[in-house]
Amino acid sequence: MEARFLSRAEIGGAVSVALWGALIAVGAYVAAPLGPVPFTLQTFFLFLCAFREGSKRASQATSLYLAAGLAGLPIFTGGLAGPSLLLGPTAGFALSFPVAAWVAGGGARGGKVSPLKFIVRGLLGEALIVGMGALGLTLNLGLDWRAALGVALVFVPGDALKICVAALLAVGYLRKRAVARAPKPKEA
């Protein structure tokens, strides 16, 4: 078997995934109490990653974040770590992250870069987070479905604002990157 070295792009992709996973973990520590589930900046970094990096890397970053926390690193909200997350009130929210990142990142590649496109994709991802969050609250806290959905819907206004800010930041970054990568006209 012949050894294969990673390309510069592969190394850059792995570093990017790790950095975004770390930012999502940092977002867990920026928290404000809001009932059984705190308001955090995790979803801001999730959406910013999805809009800038696309579905694949955003899903990988959120999966890395979950795997590291489930393996025992204290990176979940409130410094929690390990599989106990699966039995707590935030389980459904956290477990939705890879799928929500995949959906939200669908608009990041190909076509015209548009804040509206990112906002719509982000709101679709948010719907997944709210739905799975409510399901987790129902299963782990014994809330009836309507009460659980009421708790989960409290986050929508704040998350909508985070989605809009992330969309604007991502569009600015992607447009600057496109200009920087555009071929320079040859001088006569």
CB 31 within 8 A of CB 77: yes
Asked whether residue 2 is assigned to any structural domain, the reply reads no
Could you give the angle at the alpha carbon of 41 between the alpha carbons of 33 and 178, nearest 5°?
Answer: 165
Asked whether residue 5 is assigned to any structural domain, the reply reads no
Total domains in the fold of the chain: 1
pTM: 0.91
Asked whether residue 184 is assigned to any structural domain, the reply reads no
Residue in this structure with the two tokens 């986050």, named with its chain if needed:
155
Query: Is the pLDDT assigned to residue 188 strictly greater than 70?
Result: no
CA distances 38 to 98, 125, 145, Å, are 19, 19, 19
pLDDT tens sequence across 114-169? 899 999 999 999 999 999 999 999 999 999 999 999 999 999 999 999 999 999 99
Tokens representing 91 are 């389980």
CATH number of the domain to which 127 belongs: 1.10.1760.20
User: For the chain, where are the E strands, in sequence order?
Assistant: 31-32, 39-40
pLDDT tens sequence across 57-78? 999 999 999 999 999 999 998 8
